[in-house]
Amino acid sequence: MTQQRTWFITGTSSGFGRILTEKLLARGDRVAATLRKPGVLDDLKQQHGDRLWIASMDLTDTAAVKAVVDRAFAELGRIDVVVSNAAYGLFGAGEEVTSEQIRHQIDTNLIGSIELIRACLPHLRGQGGGRILQVSSEGGQIAYPNFSLYHATKWGIEGFVESVAQEVAPFGIGITLVEPGPTKTDFGRGLVAAEPMAVYEVTPAGAVRRGVADGSFEITGDPVKMADAMIAVAGQEKAPKRLVLGTSSYFAIRAALQERLAELEAQKAVTLAME
Second-level CATH architecture of 6-246: 3-Layer(aba) Sandwich (3.40)
Maximum separation of any 2 CA atoms in the chain, in Å: 67
Given the residues 137, 144, 150, 249, the one annotated as active site: 150
Q: 220 with 248: CB under 8 angstroms?
A: yes
Given the residues 113, 137, 148, 154, the one annotated as active site: 154
Phi, psi (rounded to 5 degrees) for 13:
-75, -20
Dihedral sign from CA coordinates of 143, 88, 63, 53 = negative
| Number of separate helices (H) and strands (E) present in the chain | 10, 9
Domain boundaries along the sequence of the chain: 6-246
136 is catalytic: yes
7: Cα separation from own chain's centroid = 15
For residues 196 and 190, give the distance between their C-alpha atoms in angstroms, rounded to a whole number: 17
What are the pLDDT tens digits along the chain (275 aa)?
468 999 999 999 999 999 999 999 999 999 999 999 879 999 999 999 999 999 999 999 999 999 999 999 999 999 999 999 999 999 999 999 999 999 999 999 999 999 999 999 999 999 999 999 999 999 999 999 999 999 999 999 999 999 999 999 999 999 999 999 876 666 556 678 899 999 999 999 999 998 888 877 676 778 999 999 999 999 998 999 999 999 989 999 999 999 999 999 999 999 999 98
Burial class from Cβ neighbours inside 10 Å (0-12, 13-18, 19+) for residue 45 reads middle
pTM: 0.94
Given the residues 13, 84, 136, 148, the one annotated as active site: 136
Dihedral sign from CA coordinates of 19, 20, 23, 29 = negative
For residues 77 and 252, give the distance between their C-alpha atoms in angstroms, rounded to a whole number: 41
For 236-275, write each residue's pLDDT tens digit: 989 999 999 999 899 999 999 999 999 999 999 999 999 8
Q: Per DSSP, what are the bridge partners of residue 225?
A: none
For residues 124 and 121, give the distance between their C-alpha atoms in angstroms, rounded to a whole number: 5
150 is catalytic: yes
Residue 131 neighbours by CB under 8 Å, 6+ apart: 80, 81, 82, 173, 174, 175, 176, 234, 239
225 is catalytic: no
Type of residue found at 163:
S
Burial class from Cβ neighbours inside 10 Å (0-12, 13-18, 19+) for residue 165 reads middle
Q: 250 with 229: CB under 8 angstroms?
A: no
